[in-house]
Amino acid sequence: MPRQLHLLADGRRDQRALEASATTLAAAGQPENTRLAYGRSWRDFAEWCELNGRKALPAHPDSVRLYLADRWDSSDGASVSTLKQRRAAIRAKHREHRFPDPTQDDAVRRLWLGILTEDRRPRERKLAIMETGLRAIIDAMDRELRVAGRFASAHDRAVDARDRAMILVFFHGALRRAELARLEAEQIAAADRGLRLRVNASDLPQRERDVTLEYSASPILCPVIGLEGWLRLAAIERGLVWRHVDEEGHILPEALSPRTIYAIVVRRCAAAGIDPESCSPHSLRLGALAHAAFRGEQDDAVLKRGGLHGGRTLADLKPVLQRARSLRKAGKRAPATLPQ
């Protein structure tokens, strides 16, 4: 980089130009791969803060603590190595802007030690919810509305429509929780056999993927009917799809957080008699992939369906895929759930 003096008319240095040069020189001293990885990690944290109504810079230590816990505490959560990189990125961004480092807070450090301890133990595996289990969840929702009958409130009916659509899209799209939480109306388009979703678990364009939701032979399990019904009821034409509903049944502009989505799925599973300790939103995604294997899809097609790639990913999925294929080979019906 050619050296420039950045002189003003009176001979003084241009402070803004000097600051820009200092930033460029500091970046040049960091390997490109590290800089890109830190950028991705920081965007993930900033996005989480935005979704949860928290300030990313400077971040309160509680925000960092809850972020790390949220990213760890799910069956499709980040690995220790990934969280270590994200923790380092948060530290680097705060030091770059000369803010106190929130990762050095005692509570954050205790949480990190807890994550390291948990990582040494076998992680609990969640159940895969198959199509039979999906039907049980929807049937339980129908029963709930039938019991309420004409006394079902506008709030009850709106929440039912939202949760029903969410669960059907989750399963039939084999979506990640972050992909579902970030879904916007502008990312939904008509397709030949249903709807096409352009989903992304982050703000990185290279991670975008198209997911097709096809009309189902069973109307009550149809993700297209469910999603269109919710969008029509909520009058959502722009912005995030999954929103809060107030006690009067009004659709609020505030979007559901990934944590709230987690709680909704677990509650609906429990109402259908599925062990809430053994299920999560990932159970719907995992079940969709297992159900595809049960129907005869090969590994490459299953991975593509889930937006997955890599030998390690396939190795993690292999046990549940093999169980599903064994049932098909034996001529047995698919159960409501399969162990992972």
For position 313, what pLDDT does the model report?
Answer: 72
Position 9 scores a pLDDT of: 52
pLDDT score for 13: 59
Which range is least confidently modeled, 4-18, 63-77, 141-155, 210-224?
A: 4-18
**Residue-wise burial string across 269-305, b where 16 or more C-beta atoms lie within 10 A, e elsewhere:** bebbebeeebbbbbbbbbbbbbbbbbeebeeeebbeb
What pLDDT is recorded for position 1? 45
- The more confident residue out of 33 and 158 is 158
**More confident site: 268 or 44:** 268
Mean pLDDT confidence for 204-230: 90
The answer, yes or no, to whether residue 212 has pLDDT greater than 50, is yes
Q: What is the pLDDT of residue 205?
A: 57
pLDDT for res 29:
54
pLDDT in tens, 106-155: 999 999 999 888 776 655 678 999 999 999 999 999 999 999 998 999 99
For the residues 280-294, what does the mean pLDDT come to?
95
The pLDDT score that the predictor gives to residue 121 is 60
pTM comes to 0.69
32-119: in CATH 3.30.470.30? no
Would you say residue 83 has pLDDT above 60?
yes
Q: Quick one: pLDDT band at residue 299, thresholds 50, 70, 90?
A: very high
Question: Which residue ranges make up each domain of the chain?
Answer: 32-119, 128-338
Residue written as token pair 């300790």: 277
Q: What is the mean pLDDT of the chain?
A: 88
What local confidence, expressed as pLDDT, does residue 117 receive? 85
Predicted confidence (pLDDT) at residue 78 exceeds the cutoff of 90: no
- The verdict on domain 128-338 having CATH code 1.10.443.10 is yes
Lowest average pLDDT, out of 70-84, 131-145, 248-262, 265-279, goes to 70-84
Least confident of 70-79, 191-200, 265-274: 70-79
Query: What digits encode the pLDDT tens for the residues 146-170?
Result: 999 989 999 999 999 999 999 999 9
What pLDDT score was predicted for residue 300? 93
Give residue 75's pLDDT band: very low, low, confident or very high (50, 70, 90): very low
